Amino acid sequence: GLLVKTSGGLSEDWTNRKYDPKNLWAYQPVKRPMTSMDSTNPIDVFINARMPNGLKSAPEADRLTLIRRATFDLTGLPSTPEEVESFEKDIKPDAYKRLIERLLKSQHYGEQLGRHWLDVVRYADSGGFANDFERPNAWRYRDYVIRAFNSDKPYDQFIREQIAGDELDAKNVENLIAVGFLRMGPWEQTGMAVAAVTRQFFLDDVTDSVGQVFLGHALQCARCHDHKFDPLPTRDYYSMQAVFANTQFAEMNAAFQSGENNDGFETHKKYHELRNDENKRMLGGLPKERVTPNDFGRERLGRKWSTLFRWGLDRYRPIAFTVYNGKTRFQKNVASRQQKPASDLSTKTTPEKTAILTGGDLFSPADPVEPGALSVVGLKADIPKEANGRRTALAKWITHKDNPLTARVMVNRIWQYHFGRGLVGNPNNFGATGKKPTHPELLDWLASEFMAKGWSVKQLHRLIMSSETYRRASTHPDIEQLAKLDSEGNSYAVFRPRRLAAEELRDAMLAVTGELNRKPGGIPARPDMNLEAALQPRMIMGTFAPSYVPDTKPAQRNRRSVYALKLRGQRDPFMTTFNQPGPDKSCELRDSSNVTPQVFTLFNSEESADRALAFAARVLKETKGDGQAVRRAFRLAFGRVPNKAEADDALQLWKETTQEQAKRKPKARTYPTEVIRSANEENTGQTFTFVEKLFEYQDYQPDLQPHQVDVRTRGFADLCLALLNANEFLYVY
């Protein structure tokens, strides 16, 4: 074994423990391997060097496959028929290169990469737990991330802004928004909780979050004891936590910037105020004497909703969900916006003391620690003892060129976004229990190149996507040979197909139907949601949560999924069915299941039916004649025209579904404008009822409905539904 020097464990046996060298690969310096000159792209040299003997790689994919693959990878949207035709006819040698450049310049690139990043950092518009307090201004962090990727902000700068933006320049609005990263985890403070305990929850959360997101290490195992598998002593855990000891929450005034989208503020605010006015009327109409259990319950509900509505109005104000350095002040409850106290406006702050907590117990402090970082890395952090500047120093340590983890972690994530799996199988765990790199030389070469090219993420995309490895077909000419020589699928001899992510699927359906609103940024959109799920009783703040109601206009509802409201306590069933991860834990890699509920959802849900009808209406409006309509539908869905057999089958199906639709008389869909709730009052246990007004549904403009179109269109919609259920639409090959 190999003895590793660290800051020292809690026991002598641990301090002097030896490790298997192969488990320490991530802590070794990044070394740039030499590459031969037999390839224009070094990626192919490293991939081919580990190709099993006798195994040949698949040929290059055809033009249609390449443009669809590249477009979904970089924008999360399908290529249009016009884009496909232009690329297929472009005979210039640099056609593919220009395709990549066009996609990297698209505003949708930042939305796609931003979605990946938001998975990792656990973005949500609410705080989670039983109260699920709203975070009305978290959306500004989401938009900051998207802008950062679109501008190709150097990744090292991206890290520094998110960890220490307020320290770097507290007057820079972008920095104040960026550092909201530190507050992305689930958290709540209530009158029932011990403030010191919830404060410690935050410190534990932010320590582990920084470890997973930027360093590829889940550090929580070292909170209670020295890490059992990695050379990460508990002392290091609390030294790193000491960096954040003076980090305090604030919702600061931060003027809206020119690049931020303020559209829709007045419309959304209108319904927020209507609900608030109704709540005031309910409170004002309650008797002052001889109060019944029903009155008592409604009064308590009204008071809590007043707080909730007051918070919600902050969404339309120029406020940053951010942090600052200051003295810890324990609050019994978080019932209003948290602002930076005037006493903390000075630059000098007394450092909070940090100690090792025995067994992770806040009330069992042991040895004190100074702020620091992971000693196993062998890179001194130089973190000041003063409160101010600690996070800046940690960010510099993380982004130092000699830190062996940071660049490796990010290039591995980008590789995974293109190939469906990383060179390291566990992107958040580069430790002993994580999977070892399948191509370590390639990982180091990419990490070295990433830093050498100014930490440019876009340059990394160019490098990966220009390789022969990325451009290979998803089918192999000799399946038996492939299965025999590469049973684990690690050779990259073929491109591994992937199913569209939940957001990609919804956005792709909206794109082909012509309904997608491509307006970037702004306050969260409220898409349609299954009514049963939207109106189900949901408890927050010790009482009922207001019902989820979609936006009133189709253009507002049909925005890109990355902009949809994301509540920890209320998930969209359509999205979860297709493996959208929950925002409570960092998602290093999404599941990609293939289960029966997905089939039922795609064929039977109102979402799919609405998209299919809009698809049919669009195609029939743009074409003349049945044959032309079928060809247009195929081109929109698959990027190609149907062959004769497919066209004949489609026309026959259209005929049959039209005959079936002629037997039906669709009715207009109705929506509830109020909900009657029944609950038990929390103090008396007595049942009370109340009426919740759903004002948005009074002005709701539904998407195109079956009763609004003729039978021919409804029959064609059934054909369009079949196209949207085809693997050719659902998968990237």
- Give me the DSSP letters along 606-640: HHHHHHHHHHHHHHHHH--SHHHHHHHHHHHHHSS
In angstroms, the CA 184 to CA 187 distance is 9
DSSP classification of residue 136: T
Q: Tell me the H-state helices in 541-688.
A: 554-557, 573-577, 596-604, 606-622, 626-638, 644-661
Distance of CA 667 to the CA centre of its chain: 38
β-strand 18-19 against 2-3: which pairing, if any? antiparallel
Q: How far is CA 92 from CA 68, 86, 161, 247, in A?
A: 19, 12, 41, 55
Dig out the tokens for 616 from the structure: 């049919």
Sole residue written with tokens 């307090």: 133
User: How far are the Cα atoms of 314, 501, 550 from residue 565, in angstroms, in the given order?
Assistant: 15, 17, 10
Q: Say if residues 512 and 636 touch (Cβ distance below 8 Å).
A: yes
Could you read off the pLDDT of 45-90 as tens digits, one per residue? 999 999 999 999 999 999 999 999 999 999 999 999 999 999 999 9
Q: What are the CA-CA distances from residue 397 to residues 154, 181, 214, 400, 405 (Å)?
A: 16, 18, 11, 5, 11
Which residues are 249's β-sheet partners?
A: 323
Cβ distance 583 to 122 under 8 Å? yes
Note the pLDDT of residue 346.
52
**Whole-number mean pLDDT of the chain?**
93
Return the pLDDT at 657. 98
CA distance 383 to 243: 8
Give the whole-angstrom CA distance, residue 642 versus residue 126.
Answer: 46
The pLDDT tens digits of the residues spanning 561-577 come to 999 999 999 999 999 99
| Alpha-carbon Rg for the chain in angstroms | 28
Tokens 């980008």 correspond to 414
The answer to whether the CB of 68 falls within 8 A of the CB of 489 is no
**Burial class of 684 by CB neighbour count within 10 A (0 to 12, 13 to 18, 19+):** exposed
State the pTM of this model.
0.95
Question: How far is residue 135's CA from residue 365's CA, in Å, rounded to a whole number?
Answer: 33
The whole-number pLDDT of residue 185 equals 97
CA distance 262 to 318: 10
Backbone dihedral region for residue 478 (phi beyond 0: left; psi -120 to 50: alpha; all else: beta): beta
**pLDDT tens digits for range 548-558:** 999 999 999 99
pLDDT confidence of residue 267? 81
pLDDT band at 332 (very low <50, low <70, confident <90, very high): low
Q: How far apart are CA 275 and CA 695, in angstroms?
A: 7
Q: Which two tokens stand for residue 264?
A: 């829709």
Contact 682, 543 (CB under 8 A): yes
pLDDT above 80: residue 437: yes
DSSP 222: H
Are residues 708 and 284 in contact, defined by beta-carbon separation less than 8 angstroms? no
pLDDT-derived band at 660 (thresholds 50, 70, 90) equals: very high
- For residue 31 the two structure tokens come to 């070394």
Where along the chain do its domains lie? 1-30+192-250+333-402, 265-315, 502-732
